[in-house]
Structure 1
Amino acid sequence: MNTISLQKVSDNTLCSTSPYEPLFEHVAAHLQAQGGTLKTVERTQGRIEAAWKYGFNPFGLRITVNFASQGDETIQLTLNGSFVDAIDTFGAAKKKARAITDELLKPIDIAAWPIKEGATSSQQPSATTTPPQAPLNGANAVAHRGKRKGLTAVFAFLGGGIGLHKFYTGNWGWGLIYLALCTTGIPLILSVIEFIRVLCLTQEEFDRRYNYRPISAFSWVW
């Protein structure tokens, strides 16, 4: 059992001076030990995402752990909770993230919880791997926004003429423009093109565009 040194900075933030790879494996082991299913394992990008059953959705609740190097041999871990196609009205996702944060402070047998092959992995373990540098402005990495490829395509096909898919993905500014121009037929043509585009994206490409980047009212996602 490897000893990992972790200190709690806030309710959902930890810091560590332990080597990155053992730390990464430590977090992955805890997420699985708490009943989570690893959905994303990205060592080079410093991200692990696990899913839990919530309601009727077997992977409805997500916890995303972002790793960032602070430049002084310290690694910061930030945990974010979110729902797939739902709003965290009662704070259940945030509470789950705080609970997992506390669990990470405890030791665990990494060998008993190896990273399963079902997770999307960007790189095999390497002793030289390090997490990305923390942003200069101190902003945390974007947690999974909970947008689904299938629903985006359906909204683009059925309600694209009035910008329904834009409101769903968070581009409400473009949604208003589509709504204002709905009688011209231009939004309908654009939405058909966007519908085909979304269908052609792989799940990883969709997540990169819609779930792991900040989306503003007038940002154009393609």
Structure 2
Amino acid sequence: MTIPEKISCINEALGAAYPSPKSELNYETPFQLLVATMLAAQSTDKKVNMITAELFKAAADAHSMSRLELDDIRQMIRSINYYNNKAKHLLAASTTLVEKFDGEVPDSREELEKLPGVGRKTANVVLSNAFGRPVMPVDTHVHRVSNRIGLVSTSNPRDTEDELMKIIPEDLVINFHHYLVLHGRYTCKARKPLCAECPIVDACDYEGKMF
């Protein structure tokens, strides 16, 4: 199966499995998505959603977040991994947004990556989900699945992003990213992929298929 055929098969099969693909983080604004994504590093979306449900009651936007004390943010997110650094980044990023962008989240990767605690993956998540940009955020699921099934052969997330962007049609990029994440989260799991339940098994090159 050629790469274009593989992409078409995956898009059709996972499109049927996930007809309305979207981020599983809860948010209402670009700022809230930014905060949730920053918190999601080394954590689960479920855990992040539990924390932001309370955090956003206290600070739903950059202006209100920037006025919080650092210790208050720490206390509200203390149950998440690396909460000390994440609290510092949330406060610093919110303050920067207020001072430089009137509290609004910028819609360019260059400006997003200037915010404290925001790297390329986080910037791509915001650009894709909040602003509809055809970019490819690469997390562990996207990197693992795209290599396992034979879409790419790469050793790091940045190379995975670059290679996927070369082969996936622009109009499919946003949904395709969600397909890879959801497929990796629920079917093509890291330690024990559920190959017997996989809707794209015929398009998969994984030599360790388990049935």
TM-score by length of 1: 0.28
Decide which structure has greater helix share.
Answer: 2
Q: Higher Cα Rg: structure 1 or 2?
A: 1
Decide which structure has greater strand share.
Answer: 1
